[in-house]
Amino acid sequence: MQKKDLSLLILILVVGAVVAFINPRFLLAGNLSNTANQVGLFGIFSIGEACVIIIGGIELSVGSVIALLGVLFIDLIVNHDVDWIAAVALIIGGGLLIGVVHGLLVTKMKIQPFVVTLCGLLIYRGAARYYTEDSTAGFGYGASFPTLEWLTAGRTDVLGFPLPHSVIALAIVTAIAWVVLHRSVAGRYLYAVGKNEEAARYSGIRSDRVVISAYVICGGLTAFAAILIAMYTRSISPAVHGSFYELYAIAAAVLGGCSLRGGEGSVLGVVLGTVLLQVLQNLVNLLGIPSSLNFAVMGTVILIGVVADQYLVQRRRRATSAKGHARPGLAGAPLGQAKAE
């Protein structure tokens, strides 16, 4: 565990203790289970967002993709009688395709990631609303998919605690992402491109492929999360479903140590960032604070993360500059004096 991750874990424990002290209901099994479920749902697409941030990009269309793919998933299994396994494959394939398109626009067309994904945010939200004629998509009366519902939205009793299956899914995704990012050549390429894309290209790394792969990973994980969220909510209003989810993902990544400049971040840190955000949101709910303040919390968290990142970067630069100006010799003596002695 990195030092940043350990500090974040301690912060989570402190905040959790404060929340439990203010309102003991926080420690109830039902509340903890619901919070864990939210962590699972949000953590999956936050890891995808982190992969894009690590290569120095940004993905602003996460929430709109979740709305569009969620609507399509429900429509496939409810209205078109598509087998749910085939529907899952189609939706995840759609997410991967969106990632490919974004990656190609960024690398081949040289369009800024902010512009590409901002346009995606508008296009996918509009497409979802047009597809449903701006009406809510959901399961009709009597529609039931017991196996799918149990796998995606069910809970398993573990030592008396109802463990949501979304947390199990997050654990699997986290393990795979950790191996890819921290124990594979592909992961090293992602960090190298994020640190300095031009230098990575000169060193023989095909930076375009690396960038595209990051967006593909994000698209696939977002699609997976869209399925879980659709089965959890059981109805989707395309005008608001998934709204501002990209902010949650960016905030979780920044809290987890990802620098918006690229080249930094850890999978465990992103998961811990997601946990902290959900604990803070749970605090807002338990205290009866208006839910509209959730956005203020997200904005504050992102700002604090960016300010902290800027401070650390400046401190590293000062330290590097001090080492660069350090003169060889005895006890910091000028070079000429050191030679004379």
Q: How do the domains of the chain map onto residue ranges?
A: 14-323
Of 266, 255, 339, the C-alpha closest to 303 is 255
pLDDT tens digits along 265-291: 899 999 999 998 898 888 878 777 777
Q: What is the mean pLDDT of the chain?
A: 88
Q: What is the pLDDT, as a whole number, of residue 1?
A: 64
Looking at the domain covering 14-323, what would its CATH class be? mainly alpha
Cβ-Cβ contacts under 8 Å for 84 (sequence gap 6 or more) = 77, 145, 147, 148
Indicate the pLDDT class of residue 131, thresholds 50, 70 and 90.
very high
More confident call, 287 vs 21: 21
Using the predicted structure, report yes or no on whether residue 57 has a pLDDT greater than 90.
Answer: yes
Percent of the chain with pLDDT over 70: 92
CA distance 54 to 270: 12
Using the predicted structure, report yes or no on whether residue 79 has a pLDDT greater than 70.
Answer: yes
Q: What is the pLDDT, as a whole number, of residue 39?
A: 96
Q: φ, ψ for residue 86 (rounded to 5)?
A: -65, -40
Q: What is the pLDDT, as a whole number, of residue 123?
A: 97
DSSP calls for 13-72: HHHHHHHHHH-GGGGSHHHHHHHHHHHHHHHHHHHHHHHHHHTT-----HHHHHHHHHHH
- CA-based radius of gyration for the chain: 23
Q: What is the pLDDT, as a whole number, of residue 61?
A: 96
Averaged pLDDT for residues 93-98: 98
Q: What is the pLDDT, as a whole number, of residue 340?
A: 41
Judge contact between 278 and 38, C-beta under 8 A. Answer: yes
Residue 145 DSSP code: -
CA distance 333 to 341: 10
